[in-house]
Amino acid sequence: MSVTPQRLQITAANPDPALLDLPWHVPLEDWPAETLAALPRGISRHIVRFAKMSGRVVAIKEIGETVAYREYELLRQLRKLDVPSVEPVGVITGRRSPEGEPLEAVLITQHLQFSLPYRALFSQSLRPDTATRLIDALAVLLVRLHLAGFYWGDVSLSNTLFRRDAETFAAYLVDAETGDLHDVLTPGQRGYDLEVARVNIIGELMDLQAGEFLDEDEDAVGIGEALVVRYEELWRALTETESFGFGERWRVQARIDRLNDLGFDVGELDITTDLDGTSVRIQPKVVDAGHHSRRLMRLTGLDVQENQARRLLNDLDEFRAATDRQADDEAFVAHDWVTDIFEPAVRSVPRELRGKLEPAQIYHELLDHRWYLSQQQHRDVPMTEVATSYVATILPTRPDEQAVLGTRAEDLRDGDAAGPAADDDLDPERLIG
Amino acid sequence: MATVSFDHATRIYPGTERPAVDALNLHVEDGEFLVLVGPSGCGKSTSLRMLAGLEDVNAGRILIGDRDVTDVQPKDRDIAMVFQNYALYPHMTVADNMGFALKIAGTPKAEIRQRVEEAAKILDLQQYLDRKPKALSGGQRQRVAMGRAIVRQPQVFLMDEPLSNLDAKLRVQTRTQIASLQRRLGVTTVYVTHDQTEALTMGDRIAVLKDGILQQVGTPRDMYDTPANVFVAGFIGSPAMNIGTFPVLEGSASVGSSRLALPREAVTRLTDDDKGHITVGFRPESLDVVPQGTPDAFPVVVNIVEELGSDAYVYGALTNDFGQAASVHSGAGDAQVIVRVDPRQVPPKGSTIYVRIRPTEQHLFHAGSGERIG
């Protein structure tokens, strides 16, 4: 019998010819080490690998053909809706081994730079409230997905990636396999997502406890339940109808300000008055996350995450006050702040240390460090001095988080503790056949 | 354990006029395995999600046992969506992987252990309970995932295309496993698939939906032997039934140059809506290959022969002799018929064979409404 040759079918929005150089005729679990990038991986029921391609890193998941196309399309739609999610690169089908055995289709996504799976975060020495901060980030992501009409179906820490965002984290959706886009979600869909999230998170934390990566005394159940509370608070704040007397119209602006504080812009606010005009009802209809990051982008062109933007905008305000330029156009002041303060500070980081953290995150840490030095020395320490001290004492102790290329996954972990990030013996990707 | 009832349950998506599920009436018996099947967009997944509480019910009710759950949150319905998320936790033992949801719910330790052991017995996992998932084979891991749903002892299992991301071989294996496991557990199960073979092989009963409307419910045998309408006739069975619409002349269907005798009562039941036509269905195995010149036989030009070892199927075209060729369709396309032939006497490609419908094995439908006659 003649062997059926491989005939690849590549579906991609911006096909990179380098895609053709990857060994598609080999099952993913047997890919040669030189092709792979050693990055921490989450728990998955599929085989997932990270590969180097054209100087970047892509995540490759072996999955059924129809499911692959479906997830690819969903991820594309989520990008269009501006929801934080991984960027789909493409789908490849028609793979065959040299012996003619058909191989599973793959879905390729862009690896999110500076992102970390929760298991890697827990294997680093982190602040004790790491779990709570991850939960907060996941609650924001879930609310944003639900506002956009996305039912996830399998919410978990494993299906999320985290990026540092000032003192908090920002969460990104990585796995849309079980998801669906609707015009509006029903209370049942939102409730089910929350329940799945609660149970999965508790399970994931219990697993970390079983592996001794999380203190036995941490209340896994409490942390899982905190997600539900956080989600519901935020959902109410963003969607609740508020009624008040006609004389209290200031409450319209107050509501908008409150939403801005939560990091959301109001795209459309529904205002109705009753027939005799004595009471007013308002309900936000369209809210968009990223209030601060959009404002910073408009003023400076810097594209950073929400809480980083909040921090940078505060520094910009301080700069404006310190230089006594309140009367100047904000855009001009912002331009000077970028060229005189932000860029020199970030540029003072030697090239070899730039893979540690994102520039905006480095600037956030510089601001922390400035506060610390100023407290210590009882004076306003200038940014140039702060940067020198930070680069010498703090930054070298930080792990590289851009993309841990060319290192073994084990190096991501602290000391000799066998971390849960990626353990070749364990190979969490293969836990389900 | 419980029964499940859809009582005129309707789902209309906001901004649409046609219901995604239209007044569905369906009763699932306690312990029954019911399969919802139909083409994409037929409303099968929407129906399942209504039962799960993920879709609003705009009219009608849904009951689990005697309890009206129409407005109950999913987590309070005592159901389990099986296979939705089955990644196993690497640091937990198999027992903990199966029982952690009970631990979260605050179930006493001894009871958790007892339920896990019972489930492990059914799943043949007893000797692995204290091991970590990495020590298990792929199939065993999948059973641990099933165990998670089992230990919760829900009233109803819901499964939405659970095999869709498995490769063909594993799909057939898992299909058998799920079906036999369900019978051992006796838990009422509602299962959604687009694949009629899956439906026929797994379900105690099958419900076929199309355009949000329930077409027929019955055992696999009912659906195959007495399809209620032309849609079910064409949907259930592989290869699909050959179906054609012909004029009725003097009590017979006029099949080109030949005639197909029709039962008198069928002819008397034709209505004005049928405009003097009748729809005739015949399965590939209901055709006999006969010598040229046999009464009521018609010619088929052999395009392809699919040999399956135990069977062989001729995919053939109808000729001009066959007056209404274009009005016949089958799994192979319009003006095509599929004929099961003796695998030891396979006709060559391009040859013409003569076939005749076995008189008692034809299915008759109203040409107007598509409903079964008689």
Does residue A307 belong to the interface with chain B, where contact is any CB pair within 8 Å? no
For residue B50, give the H/E element and its range: helix B44-52
| pLDDT for the residue A278 | 79
Q: Is residue B215 scored above 90 in pLDDT?
A: yes
Query: What architecture (CATH level 2) is domain B242-366?
Result: Beta Barrel (2.40)
Both A125 and A229 in one domain: the answer is: yes
Residue A425 lies in a domain: no
Chain A nearest-CA distance from B78, in A, is: 13
| pLDDT for the residue B326 | 56
Does residue B126 belong to the interface with chain A, where contact is any CB pair within 8 Å? no
Q: Which of A111, A129, A153 is the last residue of a domain?
A: A111
Of the partner residues B84, B86, B101, the one whose CB lies closest to the CB of residue A432: B86
Cβ-count burial B45-66 (b if 16+ within 10 Å, e if not): bbbbbbbbbbbbbeebebbbbe
Q: Which of A260, A289, A318 is the last residue of a domain?
A: A289
Give the whole-angstrom CA distance, residue B142 versus residue A431: 9
Interface of A with B in 360-419 (CB under 8 A): none
Both A35 and A67 in one domain: the answer is: yes
Q: Which residues of B touch A67 (CB under 8 A)?
A: 164-165
| pLDDT for the residue A415 | 32
Strands A264-273 and A115-116: unpaired
- CA A252 from chain centre, in angstroms, equals 32
Domain extent for A169? 116-239
pLDDT tens digit string along B74-131?
Answer: 989 999 988 655 678 999 999 999 999 999 999 999 999 999 999 999 999 999 999 9
pLDDT tens digit string along B144-202?
Answer: 888 998 999 999 999 988 887 677 777 888 888 889 989 999 999 999 999 999 999 99
pTM score, two decimals? 0.81
| pLDDT for the residue A405 | 36
Residue A38 lies in a domain: yes
Residue A433 lies in a domain: no
Instruction: Give phi and psi for A12, each to the nearest 5.
Output: -155, 145
A418, closest residue in chain B (CA to CA): B91
ipTM of the complex: 0.80
Residue A409 lies in a domain: no
- In whole numbers, what is the pLDDT of chain B averaged over residues? 90
Of the partner residues B54, B92, B165, the one whose CB lies closest to the CB of residue A192: B54
Residue B227 and residue B216 in contact, taking contact as beta carbons nearer than 8 Å: yes
| pLDDT for the residue B83 | 64
Mean of pLDDT values over B249-272:
86
Residue A415 lies in a domain: no
Lowest mean pLDDT among A104-108, B30-34, B78-82, B325-329: B325-329
Facing residues of A163 across strands?
A: A115, A170
Facing residues of A265 across strands?
A: A288
Q: Which residue, among A335, A109, A118, has the nearest Cα to A220 in the 3D structure?
A: A118
| pLDDT for the residue A429 | 37
| pLDDT for the residue A138 | 95
The tokens describing A264, both together, are 């959301």
Does residue B40 belong to the interface with chain A, where contact is any CB pair within 8 Å? no
Residue A180 lies in a domain: yes
| pLDDT for the residue A124 | 61
- Whether residues A432 and B138 touch (CB distance < 8 A) is answered with yes
Q: Which residues of B touch A431 (CB under 8 A)?
A: 87-88, 90, 133-134, 141
Both A324 and A370 in one domain: the answer is: yes
Query: What architecture (CATH level 2) is domain B4-231?
Result: 3-Layer(aba) Sandwich (3.40)
Q: Is residue B332 scored above 80 in pLDDT?
A: no
Q: Which of A239, A258, A275 is the last residue of a domain?
A: A239
Chain B nearest-CA distance from A29, in A, is: 14
B166, closest residue in chain A (CA to CA): A64
Residue A40 lies in a domain: yes
**Which single residue is written with the structure tokens 């010498």?**
A392
Interface of A with B in 95-114 (CB under 8 A): 104
Give the whole-angstrom CA distance, residue B95 versus residue A153: 25
- Whether residues A195 and B74 touch (CB distance < 8 A) is answered with yes
Give the whole-angstrom CA distance, residue A280 versus residue A273: 4
Does residue B164 belong to the interface with chain A, where contact is any CB pair within 8 Å? yes
Q: Convert A314-369 into a string of H (helix), E (strand) and C (coil).
A: HHHHHHHHHCCCCCCCHHHHHHHHHHHHHHHHHHCCCHHHCCCCCHHHHHHHHHHH
Both A168 and A78 in one domain: the answer is: no
For residue A195, give the H/E element and its range: helix A187-210
- Whether residues A104 and B167 touch (CB distance < 8 A) is answered with yes
Chain B nearest-CA distance from A352, in A, is: 36
CA angle at residue B96 from B135 to A64, to 5 degrees? 60
Does residue A3 belong to the interface with chain B, where contact is any CB pair within 8 Å? no
Q: Which residues of B touch A153 (CB under 8 A)?
A: 84-85
Three-state secondary structure call for residue A266: strand
Q: Give the residue from B12, B71, B89 with the most A CB atoms within 10 Å of its CB, the best one to mutate.
A: B89
The torsion of the CA quartet A92, A94, A100, A106, rounded to 10 degrees, works out to 30
Of the partner residues A67, A151, A221, the one whose CB lies closest to the CB of residue B104: A221
Q: How far is CA A210 from CA A213, A429, B143, B338, in A?
A: 8, 18, 21, 59
Where residue B312 falls among pLDDT bands split at 50, 70, 90?
very high
The domain locations on chain B are 4-231, 242-366
Both A331 and A316 in one domain: the answer is: yes
Both A323 and A358 in one domain: the answer is: yes
Both A136 and A206 in one domain: the answer is: yes
Does residue B135 belong to the interface with chain A, where contact is any CB pair within 8 Å? no
List chain A pLDDT tens, one digit each, 433 residues.
456 777 888 888 888 888 888 999 999 989 998 888 877 666 677 888 889 888 888 999 998 888 899 999 999 999 998 899 999 999 999 999 988 888 989 999 998 888 888 887 776 655 667 888 899 999 999 999 999 999 999 899 989 999 988 888 899 999 898 899 998 999 999 999 999 999 999 999 999 999 888 888 889 999 999 999 999 999 999 998 988 888 887 888 888 888 888 888 888 888 888 877 778 888 887 778 888 888 888 888 888 888 899 899 989 988 888 888 888 888 889 999 999 999 998 888 888 888 888 888 999 999 999 999 999 998 989 888 999 999 999 988 887 777 643 333 333 333 333 333 333 333 333 333 2
Q: How far is CA B372 from CA A307, B216, B284, in A?
A: 66, 11, 19
pLDDT tens digit string along A298-313?
Answer: 888 888 888 899 899 9
| pLDDT for the residue A421 | 36
Residue A412 lies in a domain: no
Both A91 and A154 in one domain: the answer is: no
CA angle at residue A62 from A107 to A149, to 5 degrees? 50
Give the whole-angstrom CA distance, residue B351 versus residue B345: 13
Does residue B179 belong to the interface with chain A, where contact is any CB pair within 8 Å? no
- Whether residues A192 and B96 touch (CB distance < 8 A) is answered with no
Domain count, chain A: 4
- Whether residues B165 and A153 touch (CB distance < 8 A) is answered with no
How many residues does the structure list for chain B? Answer: 374
The tokens describing B206, both together, are 């099958």
Q: Which residues of A touch B133 (CB under 8 A)?
A: 431
Both A248 and A361 in one domain: the answer is: no
| pLDDT for the residue A291 | 86
Both A121 and A232 in one domain: the answer is: yes
A45, closest residue in chain B (CA to CA): B87
What CATH number is attached to the domain comprising A71?
A: 3.30.200
The tokens describing B134, both together, are 């990495």
What CATH number is attached to the domain comprising A161?
A: 1.10.510.10
